[in-house]
Amino acid sequence: MTPQAAAATEPRTLAPPERRLSRVAANEALGAYRLISTHDGHGPADPRPGQFFMLAAAERWGAGADERPYLPRAFSYARARPERPGVRLDFLLEAIGPGTDRLAQLSPGEELALVGPLGVGFRPPEPGSRPLLVGGGIGTAPLLCLAEQLDSPTILLGFRSGAHAEAARLFPDAAVATDDGSVGRRALVTELLAEELDDGPTTVYACGPAPMLEAVRALCAERGVPAQLALESGMACGFGACFGCVVPTKRGYIRLCLDGPVLDADRLESAL
């Protein structure tokens, strides 16, 4: 494939080269998660499912007035709706540390700084191949916008508990598994995947914790099913400058923020 043809098929919308301010429209609890909507008046209206944004609260983003601010944090967008001018973006997040705690406290009207959309997203399935989406925990976020763009996808979601499984309510029709059996089946989501894989030509799209992604990768490799995995790694810049996000592939290290976060599973020896 020529570089021009590759660029035309690559699921990447380019980010404006700047950090810009958006305004928070809503910040609501969704079980164990927060759903934050923000109006990005100057960003592209067509981010691609699987792409991400680097987010930071415009104020109180750091350890105090005299101390260094935190670095921005990476978040997949969960939904995008054109809203003139610009776009309304929804993010689903889990408060697990100082950055996500602060974002979880944002009030409507406050400013949220963002850079993006960044990275390479999911590619559509080949004609005749059934899309099968597999999400674990907060990894369900990028599958929401992907599900909206696909024709009748099969959606399998796994969560730790009933409070986390509230996120499944965002999806029109998903099979749910929980670790404690409080919602759906008491199973790992990869058990649901193993049962679904025998049903004709399929393309698997997965996002979730690394052990789940590795189980998906191994299962799909064993059954000869193509899979696209949205990976995570620590990201300081989000656009290729810091090399903090490198991950090993079969053909050497790549910067996940530039060449991912979505990678074909067969590029990896392991997703761990």
Ligand X SMILES: Cc1cc2nc3c(=O)[nH]c(=O)nc-3n(C[C@H](O)[C@H](O)[C@H](O)COP(=O)(O)OP(=O)(O)OC[C@H]3O[C@@H](n4cnc5c(N)ncnc54)[C@H](O)[C@@H]3O)c2cc1C
Nearer to ligand FES, 74 or 146 (CB): 74
Q: What residues between 196 and 255 interact with ligand FES by CB under 6 A?
A: 235-238, 240-245, 255
What is the distance between the alpha carbons of residues 243 and 257, in angstroms, rounded to a whole number? Answer: 9
Query: Residue from 15, 74, 114, 156 that binds ligand X (CB under 6 A)?
Result: 74
Query: Residue from 26, 96, 221, 272 that binds ligand X (CB under 6 A)?
Result: 96
**Nearest partner of 88 among 79, 96, 76, judged by Cα:** 79
**Nearest partner of 15 among 43, 41, 55, judged by Cα:** 43
Is 92 a binding residue for ligand X by CB under 6 A? The answer is yes
Binding mask 247-266 for ligand X (x = CB under 6 A): --------------x-----
Minimum Å gap between C-beta 96 and ligand X is: 5
**Do the Cβ atoms of 193 and 216 come closer than 8 Å?**
yes
**Do the Cβ atoms of 123 and 204 come closer than 8 Å?**
no
Minimum Å gap between C-beta 174 and ligand X is: 17
Minimum Å gap between C-beta 207 and ligand X is: 8
Q: For the chain, where are the E strands, in sequence order?
A: 20-30, 33-40, 52-57, 73-76, 79-82, 87-93, 111-118, 130-136, 154-159, 175-178, 185-186, 202-207, 227-230, 246-249, 252-255, 262-264
Nearer to ligand X, 50 or 125 (CB): 50
Is 138 a binding residue for ligand X by CB under 6 A? The answer is yes
Is 75 a binding residue for ligand X by CB under 6 A? The answer is yes
**Do the Cβ atoms of 64 and 98 come closer than 8 Å?**
no
Two tokens, residue 79: 């939904």
Give residues in contact with ligand FES (CB under 6 A). 235-238, 240-245, 255, 257
Chain positions contacting ligand X, by CB under 6 A: 52, 73-76, 91-94, 96-100, 138, 141, 232-235, 261
